[in-house]
Amino acid sequence: MARVAVVTGGTAGIGLATAHRFAAGGWSVAVVARDPGRLAAAERALAAYGQPVLAIAADVADPQAVDAAAARIETELGPIRAWVNNAMSTVVNPADQITPDEYRRVTETTYLSQVYGTLAALRYMKRRNRGAIIQVSSGLAIRAAPLQAPYCAAKFAVSGFTDALRCELLHDKVAVSLSVVYLPAVNTPQFNWARNRTGHRQYAPDPVFDPRLCAEAIVYAVEHPRREVWVGRSSMMMAAAQALAPALADRKAASMWSAQLSDTTIPDMDGNLYDPVPGQVGIDGRFTDRMKTTRGEFVTSRTRDLAVGGLAGLALLGLAAAAVAATRPRRAALPDRTR
């Protein structure tokens, strides 16, 4: 029986690329999303790999719908081995011009959807003592940027929830892995359908990466569990800047206001916040001409820990050498025989 993977938001962009990557690797795949037309298209495309596919229409902000999807997947495809929480939404506008309802909806779709998906997966994985849950996050969960306050806040919340749950699984000796994958700017259709009240078309600042790179990192974290994965040099740079010089990172992030908006003026866009935008969109967005095509530019927390450990080891060796030198008896000065 093929291993079973679930991908929420699996009919476009990173989610669709991830579903393809799983199916190409011999996994049975369930995709959970809202738009019936894109679900049907994704199901047809994934079935070409020769493994069972299940497409489920559900709003991942609805916990009952997520639970029902998990139960159906277990019945029709088999035991869930991997669950990828990928669905999200955002509102592009200054923080004080975003409505309470918009904050609530972004929180539901971007944070609570990951909570609901994680809990649904755990109900089955915990009893079998195996499985992998992947939280698809963003560099903006480490270093927030202007014009997307609800999204940044929701992604920060995902990290807190995941860290707390990981501690509980360790305490209970449950062998289910939890990984957070931090993404850079990616060439996906999201930039075409986010709710936008700025009057300018949303723009992806350089460097822009391939959704398939993100899919490689996600599947790697399933098959080689890691606490965290950073995709793209910009995600790593954001993490380093926030850790080393947060005030400087604030000023740098402030300049991202204009970098996120093009000169093209547009009317207000309702986007996909409450309802899906219809139509086939595929994996790629409109920035293909600027997209980095690398498939291996991601770093895991294990790599980071080894690097930090190496530096710490060198520092300790230096301190030990200095301590030895300080305690070594000094030789008496030799008499001056030049006189």
Place of tokens 């009317």: 267
Which residue segment(s) compose the domain that 39 sits in? 4-327
The pLDDT tens digits along the chain (339 residues) read: 789 999 999 999 999 999 999 999 999 999 999 999 999 999 999 999 999 999 999 999 999 999 999 999 999 999 999 999 999 999 999 999 999 999 999 999 999 999 999 999 999 999 999 999 999 999 999 999 999 999 999 999 999 999 999 999 999 999 999 999 999 999 999 999 999 999 999 999 999 999 999 999 999 999 999 999 999 999 989 989 999 999 999 999 998 899 999 999 999 999 999 999 988 899 999 999 999 988 788 898 766 544 434 434 545 555 555 555 555 555 444 444 444
In a domain, 65, yes or no: yes
Question: Which residue in 18, 3, 15, 7 sits closest to 52, CA to CA?
Answer: 3
Residue 6 phi, psi (nearest 5):
-115, 135
Looking at residue 173, which CATH number applies to its domain?
A: 3.40.50.720
334 inside domain: no
Task: Identify whether 335 is part of a domain.
Answer: no
Q: Which residues pair with 298 in a beta bridge?
A: 231
Give the separation between CA 259 and CA 83, rounded to whole angstroms: 33
Q: Kindly list the strands in the beta sheet with 80-85, ordered across the sheet, starting from the edge strand earlier in the chain.
A: 53-57, 28-33, 4-8, 80-85, 132-138, 177-183, 228-231, 298-300
Closest CA to 179 of 140, 214, 128: 214
Number of domains into which the chain is organized: 1
Give dist(CA 76, CA 247) in Å, integer: 51
Is residue 332 one of the residues assigned to a domain?
A: no
Residue 255 within any structural domain of the chain: yes
User: Which residues fall within 8 angstroms of residue 295, CB to CB, at 6 or more apart?
Assistant: 210, 212, 213, 216
From 151, 182, 203, 220, the catalytic residue? 151
151 noted as active-site residue: yes
